[in-house]
């Protein structure tokens, strides 16, 4: 295993690096990435939708975000980031978090490891919608209708983030 990295190019938030003969992207100044499985007390999966320039489309996602990505959040724990991102994006506050799993997002392109949490005891405290740099639409979809809802959104040209399906696995198996 090669641990030495050579920087090829750098931007404000990203770094293109080489390890051996492999080139990939790494994020600068974060402590991790979180995703949150959030199901309301009445059995609705909380999803978010926002335009994503890399795919030039609106994307249906689970609430997610970066840990430690600014000076105020430097050294932020992943669970704290998950709670913050859930509330920022969806307006829901969780009474408790359960660590579910972690894994690579796109191992051939990036070193990103996403840690997935289940949020429990949800209370709606605001409208959500993200921070000042985001324009997020919140969706609450009954779990027994999620498959058809996602299929319909895909037919409308929305991109479905694969983390949604990962979250659904945990929503149905535990």
Let me know whether 3 and 79 are in one domain. Answer: no
Tokens, residue 114: 């996403």
What's this model's pTM, rounded to 2 decimal places?
0.91
Check whether residue 20 and residue 63 sit in a common domain.
Answer: no
- pLDDT band (50, 70, 90) for residue 2: low
Q: Whole-angstrom Cα distance, residue 88 to residue 21? A: 39
Asked whether the CA dihedral 123, 138, 30, 99 is positive or negative, the reply is positive
Q: Do 42 and 82 belong together in one domain?
A: yes
- The pLDDT of residue 62 is 98
- 131 pLDDT above the threshold of 90: no
Question: What CATH number did the domain enclosing 118 receive?
Answer: 3.90.79.10
Alpha-carbon gap, residue 61 to 94, rounded angstroms: 18
What gap in Å lies between CA 76 and CA 147, rounded to an integer? Answer: 34
**Is 51 in the same domain as 109?**
yes
Are residues 90 and 66 part of one domain? yes
Q: What would the mean pLDDT of 11-29 be, rounded to a whole number?
A: 93
Residues 75 and 101 in one domain: yes
Q: Give me the residue label for tokens 């920087």.
A: 7
Q: CB of 135 within 8 A of CB of 129? A: yes
Residue span of the structural domain in which 52 resides: 31-173
Domains held by the chain: number: 2
Q: Are residues 87 and 160 in the same domain?
A: yes
Comparing 20-24, 56-60, 73-77, 92-96, the range with the smallest average pLDDT is 73-77
Phi-psi category of residue 40: left, alpha or beta, with phi > 0 → left and psi -120 to 50 → alpha: beta
Say if residue 71 is in the same domain as residue 18. Answer: no
| Pair 51, 70 in one domain | yes
The mean predicted confidence, pLDDT, of the chain is 93
Give the pLDDT confidence score for residue 1 in this predicted structure. Answer: 56
Interval 38-77: pLDDT, tens: 999 999 999 999 999 999 999 999 999 999 887 677 788 9
Residues 130 and 71 in one domain: yes
Residue 81 has pLDDT above 60, yes or no: yes
**End-to-end alpha carbon distance in the chain:** 36
């Amino acid at each position: 295993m090669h641990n030495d990295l050579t920087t090829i190019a750098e931007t404000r938030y990203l770094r293109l690096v080489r390890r051996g003969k492999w080139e990939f992207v790494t994020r600068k100044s974060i402590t991790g990435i979180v995703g949150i499985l959030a199901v309301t007390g009445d059995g609705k999966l909380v999803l978010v939708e926002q335009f994503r320039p890399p795919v030039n489309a609106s994307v249906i996602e689970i609430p997610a975000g970066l840990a430690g990505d600014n000076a105020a959040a430097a050294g932020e724990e992943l669970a704290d980031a998950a709670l913050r991102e859930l509330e920022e994006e969806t307006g829901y506050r969780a009474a408790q978090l359960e660590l579910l799993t972690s894994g690579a997002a796109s191992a051939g392109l990036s070193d990103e490891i996403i840690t997935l949490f289940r949020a429990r005891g949800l209370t709606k405290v605001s409208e959500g919608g993200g921070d000042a740099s985001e324009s997020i639409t919140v969706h609450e979809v009954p779990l027994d209708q999620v498959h058809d809802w996602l299929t319909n959104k895909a037919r409308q040209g929305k991109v479905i983030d694969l983390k949604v399906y990962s979250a659904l696995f945990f929503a149905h198996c535990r």
